[in-house]
Amino acid sequence: MKKFFFSFYSALTMALTWSIAIYAQEKKPNIIIIYVDDLGYGDLGITGAKGVKTPNLDRMATEGLILTDGHCGASTCTPSRYSLLTGNYAFRNKAAILPGDAPALITPETPTIASMLKRSGYNTAVIGKWHLGLGTGNINWNGYINMGPKEIGFDYSFLIPATGDRVPTVYAENQRVVNLNPKDPIQVSYGQKIGNRPTGIENPELLKMKADLQHSNTIVNGVSRIGFMSGGESALWKDEDFSLIFTQKAKAYINSNKNNPFFLYFAFQDIHVPRVPHPDFVGKSSMGPRGDAIAQMDYYTGELLKTLDSLGIAENTLVIFSSDNGPVLDDGYDDKAVEMLGNHKPAGPYRGGKYSAFEAGTRVPTITYWPSKIKPGVSNALFTQVDLYHSLAKLTNSKLNSNEALDSFDALPLLLGKSKKGRKYIIEEAFTLAIRNRNWKYIHPVSMATPEWLNDKNVEAGLSKNVQLYDLKTDPSERNNIATIYPKKVKKMQALLEKIKADYTRKN
């Protein structure tokens, strides 16, 4: 009897534990990060856009939570993506914009959001722009690319290897170039010209739009690129199809993972240059290709949300929407972004944009959306994407190791709208470092002059030999440098910056 009771009892315990485990498994929410390229603070209807409508994002923002002081890690792509995926500041690894043939910047010793979520039972994917380097040097585009998303925690990948304006102009799925004919192998060069394809310098008459010198190398699909490429004819992409193809891949991925927790990092190529939206979107805005690309991005964001609804998993999916850096108009191609701007303000009320240490470099649209869990609202709390790592670990009950996401704090209550408390400080990385502490903004002086190519494009880089201090409460557009009036505040901000640089240990 005792024996029977014992085995009955243990069977019951086992069944209970089992069902709790399954329940917990089922309850793990899916997570999607929708990451737009170069979208500015003021580029959405809800944040004041003129000349383009973004109904899907406006709806997402009104039904979800919109953060008005949300920042990416840096004012350019590679460093922002690096800090988002690793939870470490990009300056720790000197991360800067990478050429298209750069080796992988993140290697398996560094944990990523993807490897952390995988550890907690998630299936993980990246679809879209990568720009974090691939391979281990001298990359072979004609076989398995031996270092990439897979090695750092992504189960599935479908990528633009670098950017739309850099070669190679092909997709890679699970680290193999899609549709490659082995008899026509790909070679890439960021130095001398290779192959017979025309270039923008030699054959400008073949171009859909004129380009600056850096973007005047190999022509593919009527667009000259940065870098030279030969071979791979059957694998070449059509820029017009980027968002459509990424969305198709994302739909297929979500569909095949609807019954298990998944993490999807969905990285648009929109609205980066070259801006070549699909004919379906041409003329959708009054701002030319840049505005049309915003409309396209908005439409496909809507398609992703619809997919969640139609599969009945929207209530169990946290969607985070943001951008990798602030806006830029002329970024190398003559696509009339400047001429057709009208009264649209891509950076909203803020100064600067992409490449800049001023606010608009990193202050970008930030929305969290989760129908069953996040109440509609607006939060003015200070937030940085560097904190996504720790926050998502909290969300999924994943324990962080001592070497993991060292600059990342838990901002989950803020992201779910349960707390109004923001970060005490954030770092804004540009060609220098800037730091925000509540309404104060300090920009560290640099001896370098603003690079000529930024001046040519009218980019306000925010670089100065002098210390800069702004009070964003009274001066949100950083016009009055008050560093000499508040020397003590300057000292305090400098000391804080030094402390952060020196403190590379796990946070809370």
Interface residue with Ca ion, options 30, 34, 38, 382 (CB under 5 A): 38
Interface residue with ligand NG6, options 197, 272, 290, 344 (CB under 6 A): 272
Which residues, in sequence order, are bridge partners of residue 199?
A: 218
Interface residue with ligand NG6, options 43, 101, 155, 165 (CB under 6 A): 165
Q: Give the nearest distance from C-beta 391 to ligand NG6 in angstroms.
A: 24
For position 96 contacting ligand NG6 by CB under 6 A, the verdict is no
Q: Residue 273's binding partner, choosing from ligand NG6, Ca ion, none, with beta-carbon cut-off 5 to 8 A by kind?
A: ligand NG6
Q: Residue 362's binding partner, choosing from ligand NG6, Ca ion, none, with beta-carbon cut-off 5 to 8 A by kind?
A: none
Nearer to ligand NG6, 355 or 383 (CB): 355
Nearer to ligand NG6, 331 or 478 (CB): 331
Interface residue with Ca ion, options 28, 30, 37, 351 (CB under 5 A): 37
Contact 125, 156 (CB under 8 A): yes
CA 242 to chain centre: 16
Q: Give the nearest distance from C-beta 73 to Ca ion in angstroms.
A: 12
3-state secondary structure of 66: strand
As a whole number of angstroms, the distance between CA 183 and CA 179 comes to 12
For position 169 contacting ligand NG6 by CB under 6 A, the verdict is no
Interface residue with ligand NG6, options 46, 96, 97, 381 (CB under 6 A): 97
Q: Give the nearest distance from C-beta 162 to ligand NG6 in angstroms.
A: 8
For position 325 contacting Ca ion by CB under 5 A, the verdict is yes
For position 77 contacting Ca ion by CB under 5 A, the verdict is yes
- Site pattern 412..451 for ligand NG6 (x: CB under 6 A): ----------------------------------------
For position 453 contacting ligand NG6 by CB under 6 A, the verdict is yes
For position 37 contacting ligand NG6 by CB under 6 A, the verdict is yes
As a whole number of angstroms, the distance between CA 89 and CA 68 comes to 22
Nearer to Ca ion, 324 or 404 (CB): 324
Close Cβ partners of 362 (under 8 Å, ≥ 6 residues apart): 71, 72, 73, 74, 75, 80, 325, 326, 428, 429, 430
Nearer to Ca ion, 81 or 351 (CB): 81
3-state secondary structure of 322: strand
Q: Which of residues 211-240 bind ligand NG6 (CB under 6 A)?
A: 214, 226
Nearer to Ca ion, 166 or 197 (CB): 166
Contact 452, 459 (CB under 8 A): no
Q: Residue 165's binding partner, choosing from Ca ion, ligand NG6, none, with beta-carbon cut-off 5 to 8 A by kind?
A: ligand NG6
CB half-sphere exposure, 94, CA atoms < 13 A: 0
Close Cβ partners of 182 (under 8 Å, ≥ 6 residues apart): 142
Interface residue with ligand NG6, options 39, 60, 77, 90 (CB under 6 A): 77
Two tokens at 447? 């001896």
Q: Which of residues 319-338 bind ligand NG6 (CB under 6 A)?
A: 325, 331-332
As a whole number of angstroms, the distance between CA 213 and CA 333 comes to 10
The DSSP element (H or E) to which 493 belongs, if any, is: helix 487-502
For position 69 contacting Ca ion by CB under 5 A, the verdict is no
For position 317 contacting Ca ion by CB under 5 A, the verdict is no
For position 346 contacting ligand NG6 by CB under 6 A, the verdict is no
| Residue span binding Ca ion (CB under 5 A) among the ranges 29-37, 81-89, 195-203, 221-229 | 29-37
DSSP string, 388-450: HHHHHHHHTTPPPPTTS-TT----HHHHTTS-----SEEEEESSSEEEEETTEEEE---SSPP
Q: Which of residues 107-136 bind ligand NG6 (CB under 6 A)?
A: 131
- Number of shown-chain residues binding ligand NG6 (CB under 6 A): 16
Nearer to ligand NG6, 193 or 373 (CB): 193
For position 324 contacting Ca ion by CB under 5 A, the verdict is yes
Nearer to ligand NG6, 325 or 398 (CB): 325
3-state secondary structure of 236: strand
What phi and psi values does residue 498 have, to the nearest 5 degrees? -60, -40
DSSP string, 329-373: S-SSB--STTTT-TT--TTTT-S--TT-SSGGGTB--EEEE-TTT
Two tokens at 437? 């502490």
Contact 215, 335 (CB under 8 A): no
As a whole number of angstroms, the distance between CA 391 and CA 376 comes to 20
CA 406 to chain centre: 19
Which residues of this chain interact with Ca ion, rule CB under 5 A?
Answer: 37-38, 77, 324-325
* Binding-site ranges for ligand NG6 (CB under 6 A): 37-38, 76-77, 97, 131, 163, 165, 214, 226, 272-273, 325, 331-332, 453
